[in-house]
């Protein structure tokens, strides 16, 4: 068993043009004051990290790591959620996802995809230069518009979709392997990898690539009504990153899992700050500790009711209180009889 590291915080939902969220220095001071021990860094804002420079310059990476360490913090993981999304975009979403790309590749899906691939490859090398062993991202999606189809999906569509997704990701996975870093897909509605079965179908297409791992976030499973505890039993060997995010599902006679096109606060399924939803984090932390999860517990603040400042403050204490310092001995060691083959034979009645 392993004691989980934490608390850490994902910066994506906090970065803005207002202090203390407007620079790496300010946000590090803020996070450290709240009791966080690490930050998960999104990689599209040069105020916080120059991803290409971190990939190409070990000196820059060391300086960045040193600056963060000066505030008593580490980097838990880098994140390319937005760039990873661009590896696979169905044309229906082109206008929406162009917002994640630089102006030079907008309105050009092939160039946008190539830019996304290069970003992921930079992230692999940057992670290596920073001494990280896990990376958070999204898979992208070619098939999400068919997840609840009418008319029915044509035969072979799903197999073709996962084959194409694997084709696009394999060179990236190989680059991460060269750098000794796991790719942790956040299993998420809107991605082609949105539950255990879709992950398994993708895994088969990438030949069970050892770097095709998981970012575990139970909130997405509450909204899908998926057993988020048994999920850990199934996939614990592949879980290499962990978002602490809560959620609740309150079905009514008017709406259920699809949410009725309502705002987040009015949906049956909605995200909440840790402790305010329905996720049983005590059991989650116990299972992850039992299975020897070696990574960080990272707060991802997404709540449709509570403000982000209170969510971040409470989240640090919440994670700290849930981390289990694992035992180094069995509770009944005091009654141990030692190893003696002859005694064992007598107990078993063996001559």
Cβ pair 203, 193 in contact under 8 A: no
Sign, CA torsion 271/274/277/283: positive
- 351 pLDDT exceeds 90? no
- Nearest alpha-carbon partner for 89 in 70, 106, 76, 74: 106
Structure tokens at 345: 């034979």
How far is Cα 336 from Cα 345, in angstroms, rounded to an integer? Answer: 17
The H-or-E segment that residue 269 falls in is strand 269-272
Dihedral over alpha carbons 19, 21, 25, 26 (to 10 degrees): 40
Answer yes or no: pTM beyond 0.75. yes
Average pLDDT, the chain: 96
What are the tens digits of pLDDT across the range 278-298? 999 999 999 999 999 999 999
- 118 pLDDT exceeds 90? yes
How far is Cα 109 from Cα 101, in angstroms, rounded to an integer? Answer: 10
Taken in order of first residue, the domains within the chain and their CATH numbers are: 5-348 (3.20.20.150)
- Residue 201's alpha-carbon distances to 169, 197, 218, in angstroms, are 14, 6, 20
- 336 pLDDT exceeds 80? no
- Residue 113 sits at φ, ψ, to 5 deg, of -65, -45
What are the tens digits of pLDDT across the range 26-43? 999 999 999 999 999 999
């Amino acid at each position: 068993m392993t004691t989980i590291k934490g608390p850490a915080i994902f910066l994506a939902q906090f970065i803005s043009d207002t202090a203390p969220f407007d620079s790496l220095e300010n946000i590090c001071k803020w996070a450290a004051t709240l009791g966080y021990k690490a930050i998960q860094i999104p990689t599209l804002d040069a105020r916080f990290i120059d991803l290409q420079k971190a990939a190409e310059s070990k000196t820059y990476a060391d300086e960045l790591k040193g600056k963060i360490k000066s505030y008593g913090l580490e980097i838990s993981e880098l994140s390319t959620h937005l760039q990873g999304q661009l590896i696979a975009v169905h044309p229906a979403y082109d206008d929406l996802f162009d917002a994640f790309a630089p102006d030079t590749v907008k309105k050009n899906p092939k160039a946008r995809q190539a830019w996304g691939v290069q970003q992921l490859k930079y992230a692999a090398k940057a992670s290596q230069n920073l001494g990280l062993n896990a990376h958070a991202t999204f898979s992208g999606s070619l098939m999400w518009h068919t997840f609840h189809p009418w008319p029915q999906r044509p035969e072979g569509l799903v197999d073709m979709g996962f084959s194409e997704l694997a084709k696009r990701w394999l060179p990236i996975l190989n680059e991460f392997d060269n750098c000794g870093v796991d790719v942790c897909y956040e299993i998420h509605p809107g991605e082609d990898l949105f539950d255990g079965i879709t992950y398994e179908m993708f895994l088969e297409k990438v030949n069970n690539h050892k770097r095709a791992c998981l970012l575990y976030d139970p909130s997405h499973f509450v909204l899908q009504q998926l057993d988020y505890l048994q999920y850990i039993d199934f996939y614990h060997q592949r879980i290499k990153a962990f978002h602490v995010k809560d959620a609740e599902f309150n079905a009514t006679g008017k709406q259920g899992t699809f949410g009725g096109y309502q705002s987040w606060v009015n949906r049956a399924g909605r995200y909440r700050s840790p402790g305010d939803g329905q996720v049983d984090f005590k059991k989650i932390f116990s299972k992850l500790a039992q299975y020897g999860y070696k990574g960080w517990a990272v707060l991802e603040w997404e709540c449709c009711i509570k403000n982000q400042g209170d969510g971040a403050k409470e989240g640090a204490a919440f994670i700290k209180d849930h981390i289990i310092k694992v035992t180094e001995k069995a509770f009944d060691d005091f009654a141990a009889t030692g190893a003696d083959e002859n005694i064992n034979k007598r107990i078993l009645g063996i001559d």
